[in-house]
Chains A and B, each alone.
Chain A
C-alpha cells in the first residue's frame, strides 16, 4: 500500500542539526496533516494544509516549519530541536479538510540527541 509515503522512516539528529521530513500522497487528496505521536499520549495535530494553504497551526514551536509546495507533497523542516521532540511524526491526508477518513503514512521515527 503506497497511498501516503513518508521518508525517512528513521532519523537521528543532534540539537543543532537541520533536517527535513517528507510526505507524499498518491490519493488525489486535497488536505494534508502533520501529527506527533508520543508514547501513551493522544495523537497531537500539528499542522493542516488545504489546497497548499495552511489552515491550522496548533501552537507548534517555530523550530518546526512546515512546507506544502503542492497538494501532494508536505514537508516538515526541523531546526534546533530538543530531546523532548523525539517522537513518531505521522503525515496524513484526507479528500477534503472536513471529510471523514484520515489516511496515514507509516511515520518518521525521530530521535533528538
Chain B
C-alpha cells in the first residue's frame, strides 16, 4: 500500500518569499516520489522526481525537493516565489504494479502568491 499526505490545502506566500509545500509518504517499498504542478483547466506538468538517486532533487522553475527517509517526507521548496508559481501542486508516489508504475496522488496544495 502507498499513500501521500499533503499538509495544507492552501498556502499563501508573498512574492519573493520562500515556498515550502509539505508532503509525507507511506510506502512498503522504496518509493518513487514526484511533484506535479497543475494550472487551471490544464493537465499535470512534472516538476521533479525522486528515484533513489540523490536525495536532493532539483526540478524545473527553480523548485527542489529533499527526500528524507527518516521523516518519510518529500517537501517541495523554492527560495523565492514568483507570481507565475500560483497553481495547484500535487505530490505523488508510485510503485511497480504488474510491470508499470501505479501512481497515487496527494490531495493537492493550492499556492497563492501575493504581490
Asked whether A and B interact, the reply is no
Query: Which residues of B pack against A, CB within 8 Å?
Result: none
Query: Which residues of A pack against B, CB within 8 Å?
Result: none
